Amino acid sequence: MAQAEQPPTIAAASDLQFALEDVADRFTAQTGKRVRLNFGSSGNFRRQIAQGAPFEVYMSADEAYVEALHESGHVRNAGDLYAVGRIVLITRKGGPIDPEAGLDGLAQALADNEVQHFAIANPEHAPYGVAAKQALQSAGLWEAIQPHLRKGENVSQAAQFALSSEVDGGIVAWSLALAPVVDQRSTWSRIEAEKHAPLRQRMALVEGAGETAEAFYDFVLSEQGQAVLAEYGFVPPSGD
């Protein structure tokens, strides 16, 4: 019984860092129940859950990871889409890249040798890193930027890198750029959605999830939970 009363741990993609904290606060205010939020890269969480990590809800930034865990029997079902993410080109205020000029501005900064380091999440296991790579490839910049890349373990770390004095900019989640603590320190602009594959974000209950986890899962998908996610730039699942 005591085990069941412990707040469930939520494995959440790091693009949710600020948005999900807000969702969780509202969930607790409404229900009196608490959850523990653990943020990281979706690919790493997928591996940990497959190895038996004690998470009860898995919120991935790439639906393919949830589908893989469903096929292997580690999550209860195929889950639900809860959001579609977007990416931004970002730099600290006064940085050498002009985000308002979009990827063309990045291309110009590269041509002018003004970019020493550029941050993205590691595309090997972070969906926002994959989207960043696709956007750079679409602009013909992937090869040119290789010597300058600084890869974050997840998109939240990439955002920290991008705003540091040692890094000239990066491509990160729009949801992170919208957070006041980031927005007030940065200049950013959205990258066109057609520059990368849609970031279809899916969640599922892990096998053995308890009642509080189920309630939180439902709250994320509720009108109230979806409204909070929309405040952080997430497109509703039914959107483009």
pLDDT digits 0-9 by tens, 40-89: 999 999 999 999 999 999 999 999 999 999 999 999 999 999 999 999 99
Q: What is the secondary structure of 68-80 as a DSSP string?
A: HHHHTT-BSSS-E
Query: Given the structure tokens 């591996």, which residue do they identify?
Result: 47
In CATH, what number does 2-84+199-231 get?
3.40.190.10
How far, rounded to the nearest angstrom, does the alpha carbon of residue 115 sit from its chain's CA centroid?
A: 24
Residue 92 in contact with residue 118, Cβ under 8 Å?
Answer: no
Q: Does domain 85-195 have CATH number 3.40.190.10?
A: yes
Does 2-84+199-231 match 85-195 in CATH topology? yes
Q: What is the mean pLDDT of residues 20-44?
A: 97
What is the rounded end-to-end Cα distance, in angstroms, of the chain? 44
Domain definitions of the chain by residue range: 2-84+199-231, 85-195
- The answer on pLDDT for 27 being more than 70 is yes
> What does the pLDDT look like over 199-220, one tens digit per residue?
999 999 999 999 999 999 999 9
Over residues 95-151, the pLDDT tens digits come to: 899 999 999 999 999 999 999 999 999 999 999 999 999 999 999 999 999 999 999
